[in-house]
Amino acid sequence: MLVATPEYNGAMPGALKNALDWLSRPVEEGLVLERKPVAIIGASKGPLGSIRAQLNLRVVLHKMDVAVVGQPEFVLPHAHKALAGDELPAGSPSLPILTAVVEGLVDLIERRRAAASLTC
Ligand SMILES: Cc1cc2nc3c(=O)[nH]c(=O)nc-3n(C[C@H](O)[C@H](O)[C@H](O)COP(=O)(O)O)c2cc1C
């Protein structure tokens, strides 16, 4: 799963937290996202590019026992100026970082699959 978050008052938006809360219950039926590979990205209009929201999101995913890609961290400050329409323009220094996050997620998925096949 790839979670993209904006930043609302220094945290993830309430709607995203609410969705994660719903995914975490009932505990008796097992955590839906337990040990699932997840990557986080974010963008915001401010100068910190959603990093506070992402830290907030990481804490919640940690509590849900999710396997989160650690590095690199993709933030997009001043997103309303950094984007060309809905896209990062060619040559944007943010593009290789975004690519590395997605590659990190694919790598985590493959390592989890390999570990699961060893235990079968
Ligand atoms: C309630 C609210 C709080 C916000 N707080 C922040 C903030 O803490 N930092 C920031 O960089 N941008 C903040 N913004 C601006 C968001 O980065 C910007 O609106 C972003 O595009 C949110 O996307 P959305 O409104 O489509 O969900 C806030 C926006 C809203 C509506």
Which residues approach ligand 1 with their CB closer than 6 A? Answer: 6-10, 44-46
Strands (DSSP E) contained in the chain are 2-5, 37-43, 67-68, 74-76
Domains delineated in the chain: 2-119 (3.40.50.360)
pLDDT at 31: 84
pLDDT for 15-38, tens place per residue? 999 999 999 988 888 888 999 999
Instruction: Tell me the best of 44, 76, 78, 83 to mutate to test the pocket of ligand 1, counting ligand atoms within 8 Å of each CB and taking the most.
Output: 44
Among protein residues, the one with the nearest Cα to ligand 1's atom 27 is 6
Residue 37: is the preceding peptide bond cis (ω within 30°)?
no
Structure tokens at 51: 């990093």
pLDDT at 100: 98
Q: How far apart are CA 60 and CA 22, in angstroms?
A: 12
CA distances from 2 to 27, 31, 101, 118 (A): 23, 18, 10, 26
